[in-house]
Amino acid sequence: MSKKVVTLGEIMLRLSTPDFKRFVTSDTFDVTYGGGEANVAAALCNYGLNGTFVSKVPANPIGQAAINHLRRFGVDTQFVARGGKRLGIYFLETGASMRASQVVYDRADASIAEVEASEFDFDKIFEGADWFHTTGITPALSDKAAALTLAALKAAKAKGITTSIDLNYRKKLWSKEKAQQVMSELCKYVDVCIGNEEDADTTLGFKAAGTDVTKGELNLDGYKDVFAQMKAKFGFKYIASTLRESHSASDNGWSALVYDGTEFYHTKEYNVRIVDRVGSGDSFASGFIFGLVTGMKMADAAEFGVAASAIKHTIPGDLNHATLNEVQELVKGDGSGRVQR
């Protein structure tokens, strides 16, 4: 039977400028939908698993359009609640070369921020589930959303379901102090912790020594020390961090580190030419989860995840539409980009 992975979080309307235009010069926006946990659910469906997304959207045509977008790619949306004021929006201006991308949020009073945990039947939601995933974005939206995230994690753990969280710090949503207070409590119920070097510092207070991503400096020994501290404090079964070396807004080095308390593994590094980097962390998380939930060894799951996310950088939109075969071929070493006939 197909593995069932439940994700919980916000889905938003994404309005992005076409053709690398600036906000101030664009007369139109490209429309799509996405959000960290929704992106993970969609990618897992693409790999053949049962991705189930839990959220709350407004009971209007825009909320329905977001749900329809996920259903289009096989996501189970039966547990999405309807109600509240509005769907959150984010505006994206895609950068190039030395000009960085910009994101502007318009998500205050979104339906998910006013959610109540009592709106969801977690016994039914987690029936037959193998894995539960969420991110640090959802609890950053409001105290109610944080309470919902905690309730979901506790319910999953009580049922013996493997849990994961992508730390995903967003400074436009909350302070480091509030993030560390909330996330430290959530991580008591997490088996697999995913993030990057900045997230570990801002959300949990662990910093990798000798690392400066803006200068392309990565000290792997510093990460190993941080991972060991994180495991000692929270007892995570696996810890994973993506590694982005930002040579420019167009060209990045991309790899990942994973740790299980014994093995510290660094994946192959990909040099990626970026089409759209939004959702790249989610695509790593979904690939890593896919590997682990289907029985891969940690290192193999990490290689699958980083290959999947390398491909995601070449795909416009939030969702990763890489196929299982494409990821497997890249893991084997075929990154030639030759036309497939």
At position 337, the amino acid (one-letter code) is G
- Are 23 and 93 in contact by the 8 Å Cβ rule? The answer is yes
Centroid of chain to Cα 89: 17
Is position 130 annotated as part of the catalytic site?
no
- Are 59 and 83 in contact by the 8 Å Cβ rule? The answer is yes
As a whole number of angstroms, the distance between CA 240 and CA 281 comes to 11
- Are 267 and 154 in contact by the 8 Å Cβ rule? The answer is no
As to burial, measured by CB atoms within 10 angstroms (0-12 exposed, 13-18 middle, 19+ buried), residue 60 is middle
What DSSP string describes 261-294? SS-EEEPPPEEEE-S--TTHHHHHHHHHHHHHHT
Structure tokens at 174: 């909350």
The single-letter DSSP state of residue 79 is T
CA R_g for the chain: 19
As a whole number of angstroms, the distance between CA 293 and CA 286 comes to 10
Q: How far apart are the first and last CA of the chain?
A: 33
Q: Which of 130, 282, 318, 334 is flagged as catalytic?
A: 282
Strands 251-259 and 270-273: antiparallel
Q: How many residues does the chain have?
A: 341
E-only strand ranges, the chain: 4-8, 12-16, 30-34, 50-54, 56-57, 81-82, 89-93, 102-106, 131-135, 162-166, 192-196, 238-246, 251-259, 264-266, 270-273
Task: Give catalytic residue positions.
Answer: 282
